[in-house]
Structure 1
């Protein structure tokens, strides 16, 4: 039997109460397939190795920006800034997600081929192997989703490379790929145990997770994407559209609906307080809302730099060591939240951590992502850039919102169940105060619009907004409106004319782990306080901050309509072009089967 290179990780199963027991992942090793598939333990180690190729920094960093939630803070010649603003070409197109996801697909294909061939004499071992096979199917499907949602029609390998007649492969219709992913996840569901029965850690895929992933894939498969004629590759054929088969679209919405219903009916997952989700994440605890996480425990599994690139600013001399975000909150996003929505101050950090270890208020142009803030951790982590923070790939609130969406699409009207699912999420946001959530729309489009907004508020900075907007067919429209809103905020006009230009706040100490500070309170002033007011504020210990200036511990860009950084937001946005990335020049050159198959608009 040929030798096949598989990544291996020696991982002991952890309990269900804490992520902290997830053991360190050692380095890669080669295994002889003739011995791997004679030992269920080695099969499990090979599977765990495949999990290392299910996520990377590009998914939340480059691909997480360029939305009405998040923008780049890097210079305009920086490739990350260019991706954030839709300025790219085959020469500069990102490709680490493409290559790493395919690495995981190859590992899954080897497992999917060989596990069913193993001879097993007892039922317990067969059941264990079935579960491992189910995880492999789910990994293949989730990895292919990550490729297709950014690159469209791509090669679709379903057998190991060594079994392929050629190492050259062409693009395959994304509809066929999505249907294959649906099939993979349905197989996974039939093989996997429920989370409560498995004892698996949150970093492993259970039946609950597979149902959630199935709903996600089905909604993408039913939604809009940038398409072109795969025979001619004519630029004139490029359009944003759903698949042509309307019956299949309805089937996919039904699949998504049923998958979400299965998770809800099972009752193992639930909502927890919004702040708890991320405090638990940062302190390596498990809760019922987080359904699937990418593990970052251990010094050699911190390459994604979660909490550093996408966290809050912490000065090198601060108590928490350096945190240097390259991502900032879209300035108007703060004002999308209604008064009393507890999610705003968790998702958005209105302060930085300065060199004197004090909380210092951010300006409107310098708000940063608050969900992964280093001061909420219980320790420093491995290093400034390696904080041992997992990445949540699926949580229960997402399942509820997908459930609501599928119900609305199937009935072309919000059903009672659709309203209930949406309201569960909204009620959590307002501490169960129904008087604050407003009236849920009763028409199809109104409810759809409410869901588009709710996913923005609920799932901010979790890696889904860019491609969610594409699958709804509204990326260009939403980002064009966001740019205009930003200009209105900068000009202090329209719906932003009553926004405080100044805030008075008190700097407070930031010198303890598990910092209880969520947001700095402030007094707002629409116009600049007069001399007497300023004197009184100073006497009372307040610092007065002009929210439109560059006076900030981080990203000191003034929010002015004519500022270059404001004018250049989304500068490359072009409908029916940027909704998919071109394949990189290196990718095209490495695969002769892709010759002549570049994105037609590039």
Structure 2
């Protein structure tokens, strides 16, 4: 119990279910008094325990909403809806990510301390332990990045809590944390084997994945964040800014570029068809694009309810059992994909699964997340909410886009390599048809804008959009523009004046696993068809759907400009304030070192 009490003192109360396995692990005191660090097999079990605290539902659920990709479908008084719309307060601030990430950091710290002290005689065992040590360094870095992304400056423990001089911890500059994460990942890279040499599952960090994580950390470290004076905590000091050391920013872009280059040059990872990424994912299959996943061999994925909270709607009486998403696609997101972009209908499901097991067309308000759809699985899973679906932490397309971004930053404009990496992603989206990908921008700002948009199209609903917009310094601008677009769509005006107000489609059977259906085909009508056309459609068994109506199996809300749900989207948005969350009241109360260190504007 002593160990748990210390962790509570650091405001990492392990209340989330994802930390269950950690609580069952022996304390460090037990490690020291037992044979765990004399047995490499037990050390491997300890690193698997650390992986259980590398991800949680909050990261894709509450933090995955509130973007120009994704909105909450819960009521306006629901705390998840409030957080997704930037209505923050310490009373409702999410804290399970904060808790889980520090639990993983503590486990990593115990391993980082003890593995180098082990006495090993044979080279094979030493190599194995070096790899586990590398994983521990990578987990610590990845977890601390998640803390920094949402809470900014934060406590930064790098030794086990029993070795700390006291049991409280204050905020440390996010720049110090990021630089520590860079150092951790560089150590991890020196210790880890390449994926092709390791024989380890994709749920464990390889050298490939560590390079990708390093690029990600470096880009966040070079970007914008909400900052304030850590001495005064004055509200007047709060501003969105980059670190002041311009040379270090350039170093970080170089680190990101070189890390991505190492992955590309290695040649082990490739792009696969976009649809295959997610059909493989929901069925537990591995492909060369997915570089690091959460689940299967390292944790209980079912605790996350992946595919249930963030999937498509399936009626409880349908062939696939119930799926009840609490998230939906931002209504205008669908229209941002160019015609022929194969990612659109994979990313956004334009149908739900009805009680009578039919594919039923969604309205513009009720399009849902398509990447984790339950009907693409080969079986029903453990239960309705337990579908055995992994979460992708990192995939190769992300690496290519990070490579392109870093090159653009370093050269103040897109280099040939930057354009090549960007175009690889674009070409895959359009089945290698170069005539459809458009002209690649040649100046710095236009290319950065293209990267910002491409990451939105490529990585939709994968948990990066909210904090990507923040690190680019454009969260408020992008979400304000998205809200204006939504109003235009609701009014059937502006660039949405010619979108079909009605769609005619055939309901098709949804009664097989590995359902081949990607999207329902439709005939669109900008205005309501006349009586003769309606009769013709009816004779052909077509259903005519008003895309602005509340006639939907899921999130049955009419799309009108004065609708409450439309008006309330992003209602709390305020630049230079909401880019970081306040720490929860429970977190502040549990750690004496945080007293007086709340987000100054809360």
TM-score range with shorter-chain normalisation? over 0.9
Could you say what secondary structure the match of 2:275 adopts? helix
User: What residue in structure 2 maps to residue 404 of structure 1?
Assistant: 404
Residue 283 of structure 1 deviates from its aligned partner by 1.1
Q: Distance in 2 between matches of 1:42 and 1:529?
A: 69
**Do structure 1's residue 30 and structure 2's residue 15 form an aligned pair?**
no
- Which structure 2 residues correspond to residues 134-533 of structure 1 after superposition, within 5 A? 134-296=134-296, 300-533=300-533
Q: Distance in 1 between matches of 2:246 and 2:259?
A: 20
User: What residue in structure 1 maps to residue 101 of structure 2?
Assistant: 101
Q: Distance in 2 between matches of 1:284 and 1:27?
A: 27
**Closer/same/farther in 2, CA of residues 26 and 388 from structure 1, 3 Å limit:** farther
Residue 175 of structure 1 deviates from its aligned partner by 0.1
Residue 26 of structure 1 deviates from its aligned partner by 11
1:500, 1:527 within 8 Å by CA — same for their partners in 2?
A: yes
Q: Which digits, 9 at most, give the CA deviation of each residue in 1:169-202, with x for residues without a partner?
A: 1000000000000000000000000000000100
2:22, 2:49 within 8 Å by CA — same for their partners in 1?
A: no
Q: Which digits, 9 at most, give the CA deviation of each residue in 1:227-270, with x for residues without a partner?
A: 00001111111000000000000000000000000000000000
Q: Distance in 1 between matches of 2:320 and 2:299?
A: 18
User: What residue in structure 2 maps to residue 78 of structure 1?
Assistant: 78
Q: Compare 34-43 and 406-415 and name the one that shifted more.
A: 34-43
Q: Distance in 2 between matches of 1:582 and 1:260?
A: 33
Could you say what secondary structure the match of 1:303 adopts? helix
Q: Distance in 1 between matches of 2:448 and 2:225?
A: 18
Q: Distance in 1 between matches of 2:530 and 2:541?
A: 17
2:52, 2:300 within 8 Å by CA — same for their partners in 1?
A: no
Segments of structure 1 that go 5 or more residues without pairing to the other structure are: 6-24
TM-score, structure 1 normalization: 0.95
Could you say what secondary structure the match of 2:566 adopts? helix
Residue 3 of structure 1 deviates from its aligned partner by 9.5
Q: Distance in 2 between matches of 1:27 and 1:382?
A: 24
1:4, 1:33 within 8 Å by CA — same for their partners in 2?
A: no
**Closer/same/farther in 2, CA of residues 26 and 411 from structure 1, 3 Å limit:** closer
1:282, 1:372 within 8 Å by CA — same for their partners in 2?
A: yes
Q: Distance in 2 between matches of 1:326 and 1:122?
A: 52
**Closer/same/farther in 2, CA of residues 298 and 161 from structure 1, 3 Å limit:** closer
CA RMSD between the two structures? 1.4
User: What residue in structure 2 maps to residue 13 of structure 1?
Assistant: none
Q: Distance in 1 between matches of 2:26 and 2:470?
A: 40
**Closer/same/farther in 2, CA of residues 185 and 298 from structure 1, 3 Å limit:** closer
Residue 30 of structure 1 deviates from its aligned partner by 2.6
2:203, 2:298 within 8 Å by CA — same for their partners in 1?
A: no
Could you say what secondary structure the match of 2:470 adopts? helix
Could you say what secondary structure the match of 2:226 adopts? strand
Residue 287 of structure 1 deviates from its aligned partner by 0.1
Q: Distance in 2 between matches of 1:154 and 1:27?
A: 23
User: What residue in structure 2 maps to residue 64 of structure 1?
Assistant: 64
Residue 590 of structure 1 deviates from its aligned partner by 0.5
Segments of structure 2 that go 5 or more residues without pairing to the other structure are: 5-20
Q: Distance in 2 between matches of 1:42 and 1:203?
A: 18
Q: Distance in 2 between matches of 1:297 and 1:252?
A: 33
1:297, 1:388 within 8 Å by CA — same for their partners in 2?
A: no
Q: Distance in 2 between matches of 1:197 and 1:90?
A: 47
